[in-house]
């Protein structure tokens, strides 16, 4: 027997199979006219998922600004908020009933509004408030207001992070295939549900804007409530998460009122906003705003 054949015979069966496979692969280019192997298809770009409250939706690389509150003045929201509903409680049953019922809203005008409300951050929330403010504000024209909201947002982040990590509540879409209004991702699933960061931020911003434009306070606060409820329609938060988010936002706003820097920035933003909303401020499309108002007024169930 030739030496090469003897060596092949002495190889264990798995090694022999591997050697034969390698030999066949080496012959494939010759049999196919030495064509280049096909390149793997490029993966499709990921869809936009719900953005994190901890980064700017328009400029993720933007350096963080300094929050208004420090360790001594920031509210302890773990102590303020109640615990989320325990398993098999009536409150948890209500949460699950609401989640299941709102899956039927997929494709509705209210679902579209919830999808639009996924965007967060100071500029995005101002855009969502355009109809109730009566004009779409260009962030470049209201730098004092944007700076105020950006700083307050960091205080909201802090107030939200504590309870999320403390309770580690899972989001309602985890463990099922029910539709939600954003792309499912492991990062979203791993981010805890209680309280809702969007609802916390939206309610804090609504309270700030209501104090800046008191003549529109009712409409602003109603839109802030609907912004939080969009998270339930979207399927990414339980109803009790959103309710806790409003309490969370109220606690942050109350603490901010005691901060001199916040009050000074609030005065500057008030004067700036009054100027931006007068004169040549472009009005919103009445049909678009009527559609949004009708959707926001729809009951959750």
The verdict on 134 and 264 lying in the same domain is yes
Among the listed residues 203, 161, 170, the one whose alpha carbon sits nearest the alpha carbon of residue 75: 161
Residue 90 has pLDDT above 70, yes or no: yes
* Per-residue confidence band for 224, with pLDDT thresholds at 50, 70 and 90: very high
φ and ψ at 298, to 5 degrees?
-65, 135
pLDDT at 62: 63
Average of per-residue pLDDT across 103-107: 94
Of the residues 198, 223, 246, 265, which is catalytic?
A: 198
Which whole-number Å values give the CA distances from 286 to 117, 131, 134, in the listed order? 19, 8, 10
* 16 and 81 co-located in one domain: no
Active-site residue among 150, 155, 241, 265? 241
Candidates 150, 237, 246, 265; catalytic one: 237
Alpha-helical regions (H) of the chain: 3-10, 13-31, 77-80, 90-102, 109-116, 122-128, 130-133, 143-167, 186-190, 197-212, 217-234, 239-257, 260-276, 286-297
The pLDDT, as a whole number, for residue 63 is 61
Report the alpha-carbon distance of residue 224 to residue 37 in Å, rounded.
56
Cα–Cα dist 227/231, whole Å: 7
Asked if pLDDT for residue 233 goes beyond 80, the answer is yes
Q: Judge whether 111 lies within some domain.
A: yes
142 occurs within a structural domain: yes
Q: Model confidence over 17-73: pLDDT tens digits?
A: 444 344 434 433 433 443 444 443 343 333 333 344 445 444 556 665 899 999 999
Q: Quick: pLDDT tens for 173-203.
A: 999 999 999 999 999 999 999 999 999 999 9
Residue 54 lies inside a defined structural domain of this protein:
no
Q: Where residue 209 sits, what CATH number does that domain have?
A: 1.20.144.10
Domain presence at residue 209: yes
Clarify whether residues 243 and 164 are in a common domain: yes
Residue-number span of the structural domain to which 172 is assigned: 77-297
Specify whether 88 is catalytic.
no
In this structure, the answer to whether residues 122 and 16 fall within a common structural domain is no
Name the CA radius of gyration of the chain, rounded.
27
Respond yes or no: is residue 55 known to be catalytic: no
With respect to residue 62, please indicate whether it lies within any of the assigned structural domains: no
Of 110, 169, 171, 231, which is the active-site residue? Answer: 231
**Residue 285 and residue 137 share a domain:** yes
My answer on whether omega of the bond before 104 falls inside 30° of 0, hence cis, is no
Query: What's the rounded Cα separation, in Å, for the pair 9 and 191?
Result: 57
Q: How many degrees, rounded to 5, is the angle at CA 15 between CA 9 and CA 20?
A: 80
Residues 31 and 151 in one domain: no
The answer to whether residues 140 and 19 belong to one domain is no
Identify the CA nearest to 131 among candidates 209, 55, 201.
209
Q: Please tell me the total count of domains within the chain.
A: 2
Alpha carbon 243 to its chain centroid, in Å, reads 16
Is residue 60 included in any domain, yes or no? no
Domain membership flag for residue 57? no
Same domain, 193 and 258: yes
**Do residues 187 and 249 share a domain?**
yes
pLDDT given at position 297: 84
Has residue 249 been placed in a domain? Answer: yes
Question: Do 287 and 150 reside in the same domain of the chain?
Answer: yes
Query: Residue 256: is its pLDDT beyond 60?
Result: yes
Q: Is 291 a catalytic residue?
A: no
Same domain, 87 and 32: no
- 212 shares its domain with 86: yes
């Amino acid at each position: 027997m030739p030496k090469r054949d003897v060596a092949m015979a002495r190889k264990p069966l798995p090694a022999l199979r591997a050697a034969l496979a390698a030999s066949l692969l080496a012959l494939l280019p010759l049999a196919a006219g030495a064509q280049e192997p096909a390149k793997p298809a490029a993966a499709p770009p990921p869809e936009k998922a719900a953005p994190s409250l901890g980064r700017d939706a328009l400029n993720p690389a933007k350096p963080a600004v300094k929050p208004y509150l420090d360790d001594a003045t920031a509210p302890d929201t773990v102590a303020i908020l109640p615990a989320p509903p325990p398993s098999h409680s009536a409150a948890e049953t209500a949460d699950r009933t609401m989640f299941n019922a709102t899956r039927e809203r997929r494709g509705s005008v209210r679902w579209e509004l919830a999808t639009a409300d996924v965007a967060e951050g100071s500029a995005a929330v101002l855009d969502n408030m355009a109809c109730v403010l009566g004009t779409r504000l260009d962030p470049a024209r209201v730098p004092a207001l944007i700076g105020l909201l950006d700083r307050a947002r960091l205080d909201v982040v802090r107030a939200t992070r504590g309870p999320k990590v403390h309770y580690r509540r899972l989001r309602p879409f985890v463990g099922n295939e029910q539709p939600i209004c954003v792309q499912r991702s492991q990062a979203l699933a791993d981010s805890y549900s209680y309280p809702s960061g969007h609802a916390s931020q939206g309610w804090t911003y609504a309270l700030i804007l209501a104090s800046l434009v008191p003549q529109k306070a009712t409409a602003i606060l109603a839109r802030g409530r609907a912004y939080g409820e969009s998270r339930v329609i979207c399927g990414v938060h339980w109803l009790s998460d959103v309710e806790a988010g409003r309490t969370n936002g109220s606690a942050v706003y109350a603490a901010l009122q005691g901060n001199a820097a916040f009050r000074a920035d609030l005065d500057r933003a008030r004067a700036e906003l009054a100027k931006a909303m007068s004169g040549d401020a472009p009005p919103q499309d009445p049909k678009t705003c009527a559609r949004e108002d009708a959707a926001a007024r729809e009951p959750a169930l």
